[in-house]
């Protein structure tokens, strides 16, 4: 199994590390290079198992609690640079940001996955940015980013709120009708242009969770088609912004979308 396949399989894993000196937030995925494993740090599990204390995160429990400049530079920061971090929510982002600030680790974060990216409720009203992508853009050497989408986040009701409520009393099934959101609206909703600020991005991993319920009620368009358009948008705009190609590893429910 490839490293990328392992990563997708482990995004929501609660598997504990095999070593007794590792917290339950640490799992490993074998890299394509011989005998190299990538520590995968689930920050939700780390935060919950460590009482949310960013000064003593469990994923660093196998290092001395008293951190000298030498141990920080020679051991802790290089270890952090090798890790693949999984963030599920705003709580994880806040927790991780505090750890990074305490350790001065921003230049050492190279691989992150936003496993709950699809839960973002959108740029609207007074919310002017996506905190996940804003966080990513502040990591100067971030090279590998994973974003998980859901078909529910690529669709909307066919009716305005008032008409939908009225329709519920007339035809409940019809009131649930969905239509695909236009690509430009998806880009704005998720603040995708902020991804272009990740100047050292080398690999972008995208996955779409397909819902049978959404598929049943989506009568106008195909969310998977919008997702494919988003893939092309990412590829083209990252190339134009960075002046070089970025590898796009895109899947639908963990499988290649076949486009």
Q: Encode pLDDT of 60-87 as tens digits.
A: 999 988 889 999 999 999 999 999 999 9
How far, in whole angstroms, is CA 255 from its chain's centroid? 17
**How many residues can be counted in the chain?**
259
Model confidence at 259: pLDDT above 60:
no
Residue 165 falls inside a structural domain:
yes
Is 80 within the bounds of a domain? yes
Asked whether the predicted pLDDT for residue 171 surpasses 50, the reply is yes
- Indicate the pairing of strand 203-209 with strand 144-150: parallel
pLDDT at 27: 62
Q: Please state, in angstroms and rounded to a whole number, the distance separating the CA atoms of residues 152 and 11.
A: 20
| H-only helix segments in 155-252 | 161-170, 172-175, 183-190, 212-217, 223-242
Contact 201, 239 (CB under 8 A): no
CA atoms of 116 and 103, how far apart (whole Å): 25
pLDDT at site 95: 97
Residue at 39 is within a domain: yes
In terms of C-beta density within 10 A (0-12 exposed, 13-18 middle, 19 or more buried), how is residue 220 classed? exposed
What's the pLDDT score for residue 201? 98
Tokens of 102: 């305490």
As for how many domains the chain has, the answer is 1
Residue 154: what pLDDT? 96
Contact indicator for 250, 206 with CB cutoff of 8 Å: yes
Per-residue model confidence as pLDDT tens digits over 90-143: 999 999 999 999 999 999 999 999 999 999 999 988 889 999 999 999 999 999
Determine, yes or no, domain membership for 258: no
- In three-state secondary structure terms, 98 is helix
Q: What does the buried/exposed string (b/e) look like for 136-162 if buried means 16 or more CB atoms within 10 Å of the residue's CB?
A: bbebeebebbbbbbbbbbbbbebbeee
Let me know if residue 32 belongs to a domain. Answer: yes
- Residue 69: domain span: 3-252
- pLDDT above 80: residue 192: yes
> Residue 10 — very low, low, confident or very high, per pLDDT cuts 50/70/90?
very low
Q: How high is the pLDDT of residue 11?
A: 42
Task: Read off the pLDDT band of 170 (50, 70, 90).
Answer: confident
Q: Is residue 211 part of a domain?
A: yes
Question: Is residue 58 situated within a structural domain?
Answer: yes
Identify whether 259 is part of a domain. Answer: no
């Amino acid at each position: 199994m490839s490293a990328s396949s392992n990563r997708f399989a482990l995004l929501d894993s609660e598997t504990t590390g095999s070593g007794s000196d590792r917290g339950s937030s640490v799992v490993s995925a074998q890299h394509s290079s011989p005998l190299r494993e990538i520590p995968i740090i689930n920050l939700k599990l780390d935060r919950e198992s460590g009482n949310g204390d960013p000064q003593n995160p469990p994923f660093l429990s196998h290092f001395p609690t008293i951190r000298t400049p030498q141990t920080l530079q020679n051991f802790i920061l290089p270890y952090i640079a090798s890790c693949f971090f999984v963030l599920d929510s705003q709580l994880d982002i806040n927790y991780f940001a505090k750890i990074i600030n305490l350790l001065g680790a921003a230049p050492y974060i190279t691989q992150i996955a936003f496993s709950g990216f699809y839960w973002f409720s959108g740029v609207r009203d007074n919310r002017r940015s996506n905190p996940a992508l804003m966080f990513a853009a502040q990591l100067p050497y971030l090279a590998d980013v994973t974003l998980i989408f859901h078909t529910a986040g690529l669709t909307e009701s066919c009716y305005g709120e008032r008409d939908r409520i009225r329709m519920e009393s007339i035809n409940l099934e019809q009131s649930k009708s969905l239509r695909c959101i236009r690509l430009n609206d998806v880009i704005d909703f998720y603040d995708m242009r902020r991804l272009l600020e990740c100047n050292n991005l080398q690999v972008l991993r995208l996955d779409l969770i397909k819902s049978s319920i959404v598929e049943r009620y989506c009568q106008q368009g195909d969310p998977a088609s919008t997702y494919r358009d988003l893939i092309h948008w990412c590829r083209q705009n990252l190339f134009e912004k960075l002046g070089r190609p970025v590898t796009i590893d895109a899947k639908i429910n963990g499988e290649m979308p076949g486009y």
